[in-house]
Structure 1
Amino acid sequence: MKKQGPGDDFYTIKALHLLPTQQFSLVVDARCGTGRQTFVLAKELSTLVHAIDTHQPFLNDLTRRAQEAGIDRLIQTHCIDMKDIPATFPQIDLLWSEGAAYSIGFSNALNSWAPAINTGGFLVVSEMAWLHKKVPKVVKEFFQSVYPGMHTNEQICEIAQNAGYQVLETFIKSLLDHPDSSVIDFAADIIKEIKIFHCSEESYGYAFFILQRV
């Protein structure tokens, strides 16, 4: 598998281009998996990306594919936990985390990572969020069992500000607005077939948050 989460190159690049600079000395990809977004960061920034994950086979696969693609000089893997980022990388310019912060608690992740990010440095993170106050009962019950601590977009922005970040940009990921027609067709089929998504009324989704350490 090339990816283990809901990420997509289109949205990774979109988030990256929303940053006010593309020059970073130390870039860290938190819980990279097999490195879909790691590849994008390395290619777009042409700088070394430190990819971390706790599953060594994922890192081995990432290393192999980086060598095959001829970009292994731009990717360095580390088998460590996300909570150990501050001790391993104390002066980060760009910390990237797609759909992974929740695994150590979203608020805890932002607070524990803050000391490792240089003042003026950036954190780009995607997180599942409630998008509307009105949520269909079946959707609310589903997420109460799988992610009871899910926040609204507004709450996430408040958490970020309280943790010492300035919210620069935020946007919602929508497969139905994707420029690739095959992705749109796939998403439409899935939404029709899976009751929870069919009944969601767009009440939840993944959102990107582009944050700056202050």
Structure 2
Amino acid sequence: MDDFQLLIDLHLPAKRQGPGSPTETKRALELAGLRDAGPLKVADIGCGTGATSIALANELDVHITAVDLLPTFLETLNQRAEEAGVAGRITTLEASMDALPFEEEHFDVIWSEGAVYNMGFSAGVSELRRFLKPDGMLLVSEITWLTDVRPQALYEYWTQAYPEIDTASAKLAVLEDRGFSPVAYFVLPKHCWLEHYYEPMEQRFETFLEKYENSDVAKALVASEKQEIALYRKYCDYYSYGFYIARKI
């Protein structure tokens, strides 16, 4: 099994494939003014196994198109949506976010938690804008520096992993430059990283390594994840995910 398939297998059982929580999803929809917006067409881009799609389906009068590149994630999403009683509000679609098969100006809302980095923030928000109706809402979470100065080891790690990491002011400027009016911004708190993402992952490491008989590639993947987790625990005051809410203009 190749490295990518192992990565999928490690994250498939998780409720979330990145930092976030139901509380912050609800906070974002409140800040966006979606609670009383009436029937909405929503796209959840990079939906993973469906935590956000299911939360939105429970909270709003919506039909959600949940998009991910990985069919195993979408199969899990469909199963979880059935269990949650919201399957009728969610349609899954296997597609890459840089080749979305939608008509322009199709959606009222485009939501993407922790996934825009796959295209890069600038290219990602530009591409997603095409599919929003006029005055449509974009809600994305994106890794963000919280300070102007940060430790060199941390800076080197994240600029190598994701060169577009930047401060919130820089991200907001990108949104304005790409035809959006910023509406709200907030920082994901520590529980989004630890309780809802890293700690459940840590609990899967032993079983994961046993499944793959402690192969070198499995051990390397776990070591990489442990490095990222240790980095967050040490330097969490310097970075997080920012949640950006903006209106298409």
CA spacing shift, 1:78–1:134, aligned 2, 3 Å? same
AA aligned to 1:130 is: W
- Measure, in 1, the Cα distance between the counterparts of 2:62 and 2:230: 43
Establish whether residue 196 from structure 1 lines up as the match of residue 231 from structure 2: yes
How far did residue 201 of structure 1 move?
A: 6.0
TM-score by length of 1: 0.88
SS in 1 for 2:240: strand
Unaligned runs of 5+ in 1: 188-192
How far did residue 158 of structure 1 move?
A: 0.5
Structure 2 residue aligned with 1:120: 135
- Measure, in 1, the Cα distance between the counterparts of 2:50 and 2:78: 9
Structure 2 residue aligned with 1:210: 245
RMSD value over aligned CA atoms? 2.4
How far did residue 163 of structure 1 move?
A: 0.6
Identity of aligned residues (%): 31
AA aligned to 1:4 is: Q
- Measure, in 1, the Cα distance between the counterparts of 2:125 and 2:236: 29
AA aligned to 2:188 is: K
Structure 2 residue aligned with 1:174: 189
The structure 1 residue matched to 2:58, chosen from 43, 46, 65, is 43
- Measure, in 2, the Cα distance between the counterparts of 1:11 and 1:21: 14
- Measure, in 1, the Cα distance between the counterparts of 2:185 and 2:230: 28
Are 1:99 and 1:126, in contact at CA under 8 Å, matched by a contact in 2?
yes
Greater RCO (Cα-Cα under 8 Å, separation 6 or more): 2
- Measure, in 1, the Cα distance between the counterparts of 2:229 and 2:47: 28
Aligned length: 205
How far did residue 195 of structure 1 move?
A: 4.5
What does the per-residue CA deviation read over 1:82-118, in whole Å, with 9 as the maximum and x for residues that have no partner?
A: 1233x41421100000000010111001111112111
Structure 2 residue aligned with 1:93: 108
- Measure, in 2, the Cα distance between the counterparts of 1:159 and 1:29: 21
- Measure, in 2, the Cα distance between the counterparts of 1:194 and 1:119: 40
- Measure, in 2, the Cα distance between the counterparts of 1:167 and 1:5: 23
The structure 2 residue matched to 1:3, chosen from 6, 16, 27, is 16
What does the per-residue CA deviation read over 1:115-172, in whole Å, with 9 as the maximum and x for residues that have no partner?
A: 2111111000000011111101121121132122211111100000011000000000
Unaligned runs of 5+ in 2: 1-12, 201-227
AA aligned to 1:11 is: E
How far did residue 198 of structure 1 move?
A: 4.3
